[in-house]
Chain A
Amino acid sequence: MAADPLSRVFAALADPTRRDMVARLAVADATVNELAEPYDVSLQAVSKHLRVLEDAGLVSRTREAQRRPVHLEAEVFDLMTKWIERYRRQAEQRYRRLDDVLRSMPDDETAPHRPPDTGAST
């Protein structure tokens, strides 16, 4: 079974070069040559990175004969970042409540509270 869509997107964005390419494509479409310019790697290597991004659904290439500019599929990118941001916000809400609980606790208590039915030992 193939990796699910979200995992493919995560995997595609795990590479710093690919993240950088996505960041540049967020500004404007670019050709493979334009994308390859700032990197000290072969065109083939850049094409390989692009294929990974394409397979993940993050970028597409239009069929304009010669130029074939690469286009960022912002909706796919947004959906994934929304999922992560939502998850992060939930954790943040939980931990803000923990902040409040910590503020309400006395400083000097060292013995952890034990449930009544396990307090017999020690």
Chain B
Amino acid sequence: MTTTNTHETEIHIDPDVPLVRITREFDAPPDKVFRAHVDPDLFARWNGPNGMETRIDHHECRTGGSYRYLMVDDSGEYGFYGAFHEVRPGELIVQTFTFEGMPDGVALEKLWFEDLGDGRTRLVTTSLVDSFEGRDGFVASGMEVGIREGYERLDQLLAG
């Protein structure tokens, strides 16, 4: 048994388009990894950041379907929703993603389930938004200081 380093999550921040790509391998075949995305109960068990509970409102992972869920912790509830644009079992999910607090913002996400053989899968997720600021907001979100403070601090550093 090797260490978790063999399944290191890789982040690629594209310099030319406002896109983030996340790559990760799993010791399970594509059908299984796909099912953990499609089944609402399974999805709720792993989705979201640590310390937050996912409550599914609805989750119809099929071409033309939609989803909505709440992320819940002591600080409150945060709603997210989107449409499943294209769903091909064990292969691809194309979906939109919107935070209810920013209803005009939308990310286009593609999840590729690549069969590596030997019961293994490489999951490649891309999130494309319509501005670099929006993309960087995604990347910087969850920082304790928050995006605004982060930018203020960066502005100060750049001015200094």
Contacts and interface: CB of A to CB of B under 8 A. Distances in A.
Contacts of B143: 82-83, 86
Interface in A90-122: 90-102, 105, 107, 109-110, 112-113, 115, 118
A112 B39 contact: yes
Q: Is the interface of A mostly helix, strand, loop or mixed?
A: helix
A6 B28 CA distance: 36
A79 interface: yes
Chain B: interface size category = 35 or more
Contacts of A107: 32
B46 A84 contact: no
B79 interface: no
Interface stretch (A7-15, A28-36, A39-47, A63-71): A7-15
A13 B133 CA distance: 17
Given A94-B49, A101-B42, A83 B9 contact: no
B27 interface: yes
Given A10-B15, A14-B15, A87-B142, 9 more contacts: A6-B151, A7-B132, A79-B154, A86-B143, A87-B140, A101-B45, A105-B32, A115-B59, A115-B60
